[in-house]
Amino acid sequence: MSTTQPESLRRPSFTRRRTLALLAAAGAIPALASCGPNTADTGSGGEGGTGDVRIYWWGGDLRLGLTKEALEIFAEKNTDFEVHPEYSEWTGYWDKLATQTSGGDSPDLLQMDEAYIDSYGTRSALLDLESLGDTLDLSQMDAKVLDTGRLADGTLVGAPLGIGIFSVGVNEDLLAESGVELPADTEWTWEQFGEAAAALSEWGRDQDVVGVDMFGQGAAELHAWARQSGEQVFPREGETLVSLETIRSWLEFSQSLIESGAAPGADAQIEDFGAGVEGGRFGTGRAVLHFQFHTQVQTFASASGATMNLLRLPARTAGDHQMVNKASMYWSIAAGSAVAESAGVLMDFLLKDLDAAKALKIERGVTAFPEVQDAIEGELDDIERICLDFARDMQAEVSPAPRVTPAEGVGFGDELTRISQDFYFGNTDAADAAQQILTALEGMQPSS
């Protein structure tokens, strides 16, 4: 139930440990030995980096169809090289990529996630995108978003595809039917959220409808709780590591949602998680509220057929929401690619070409290029427009983006879920669970 990136609260997390193990076992990647550290390789065939490009992404059928449409547009506009698409569901993507990378057979252009970009980047598996010069021009992207693709040393190894903002999704049809009035999201606190969710659950008891479907087992939630406390899960220099008291208060609030009936019990939450997006409570119209990265509301609206909306996170102190931009995902280029320049041409097209943008819309996140936002606005349906407007509105108040998950912290989401579930099932108390989480975090902080 950990949320590593805006892609989904419902991703299976077991592959993270497997991926990190494969990367660690790979050690120095043979394919990179002849390329300078994170610089564009012009290849050994004297072609100056031109040639067919392999592109690899994760996603379902919707993303597959949209991406193929964009690639067909590219083929019409660019005849210099061919593009060979590869794709996978999330569950198999990272194992396959780790195996390919360790074997020197990485795709040229690949989709990258916040939880893994540091792991791959610090192992010199990803190209410094700024080494491509004019081939890839990202100067018009909002710098606050672009910087989320940089390593700690400033190397740009990922170009954000879009913005994902952790927020609250609302089933407006159920909310209206319930008669419960939510506090204004510009001012609401977590306590007010809990009271409203409990009232919604009380109303929906006979219909098997709950106020909020799940809370308290996802890393994105703890990240937000820490930020609102003036702390960070993975602090930069000058920032403060999340404290024992902050973690404990988050666990205790999560437990209070279960005890009040605002959220179902831990066992029901796990069952709901296993049902997937379309089969879970929010996707089937049996929960009024759901925490997600904001563009995911499109999938839930499609699955449920309900009218949906987006709200700010509740705050520990009224008005201090600490909303942040998070890269929904990235495009990266393999450092060992013999066709890095061609991969850069394709990346530039997928990020900025207006015809491609109209095909891709915002399924991968709300683009951070203002010109592209304007171009696609008229192509969007109602729920897509809600996502675009929410991202635009939040830019006036977003806080600086937190650092990306360091390589050492890839497994944190798994540990957090395991420890928090032990607590909710009564196998440990809040103090012990908080200490376990903090100890795990302290061992995952980067050494420099």
Residue 1 counted as domain residue: no
**pLDDT in the model for residue 42:** 37
Looking at the structure of the chain, the number of domains it has is 2
- Averaged confidence pLDDT in the chain: 88
Residues, the chain, total?
A: 448
- Tokens 């004297």 belong to residue: 46
**pLDDT in the model for residue 250:** 98
The string of pLDDT tens digits covering residues 273-302 is 888 877 899 999 999 999 999 998 998 999
**pLDDT in the model for residue 50:** 55
CA distance 356 to 66: 9
Q: Is the pLDDT of residue 370 over 60?
A: yes
Q: For 41-45, 147-151, 300-304, which range has the lowest pLDDT when averaged over its residues?
A: 41-45
Same domain, 240 and 171: yes
Q: Which pairing describes strands 159-160 and 166-171: parallel, antiparallel, or unpaired?
A: unpaired
CA-based nearest residue to 66, from 407, 387, 376, 405: 376
Q: Is the pLDDT of residue 29 over 70?
A: no
Q: Is the pLDDT of residue 441 over 80?
A: yes
Same domain, 63 and 188: no
Same domain, 21 and 156: yes
The pLDDT of 58-75, averaged and rounded, is 94
The string of pLDDT tens digits covering residues 163-214 is 899 999 999 999 999 999 999 999 999 999 999 999 999 999 999 999 999 9
CATH number of 339's domain = 3.40.190.10
Q: Is the dihedral of CA 377, 331, 219, 201 positive or negative?
A: positive
Q: Is the pLDDT of residue 25 over 60?
A: no
Domain that holds residue 274: 166-323+411-442
**pLDDT in the model for residue 43:** 36
Residue 418 burial (C-beta neighbours within 10 Å; 0-12, 13-18, 19+)? middle
The pLDDT of 96-119, averaged and rounded, is 94
Q: Are the beta carbons of 318 and 162 closer than 8 angstroms?
A: no
Residue 397 counted as domain residue: no
Q: Are the beta carbons of 423 and 251 closer than 8 angstroms?
A: yes
Q: Is the pLDDT of residue 46 over 80?
A: no
CA-based nearest residue to 343, from 126, 59, 27: 126
Residue 315 counted as domain residue: yes
pLDDT above 90 as % of the chain: 75
Same domain, 290 and 170: yes
Same domain, 237 and 130: no
Confidence of residue 403 (pLDDT cuts 50, 70, 90): confident
Same domain, 282 and 422: yes
- Give 3-state DSSP helix, strand, coil % of the chain, rounded to 5: 45, 15, 40
Q: Which residues make beta-bridge pairs with 315?
A: 189
Same domain, 279 and 415: yes
Amino acid identity of residue 29, one-letter, is I
Cα–Cα distance list, 102 to 57, 59, 99, 123 (Å)? 18, 23, 5, 11
Residue 448 counted as domain residue: no
Cα–Cα distance list, 278 to 40, 204, 285, 398, 403 (Å)? 42, 20, 10, 30, 31
Q: Is the pLDDT of residue 359 over 80?
A: yes
The pLDDT of 83-100, averaged and rounded, is 93
The pLDDT of 292-314, averaged and rounded, is 94
Residue 392 counted as domain residue: no
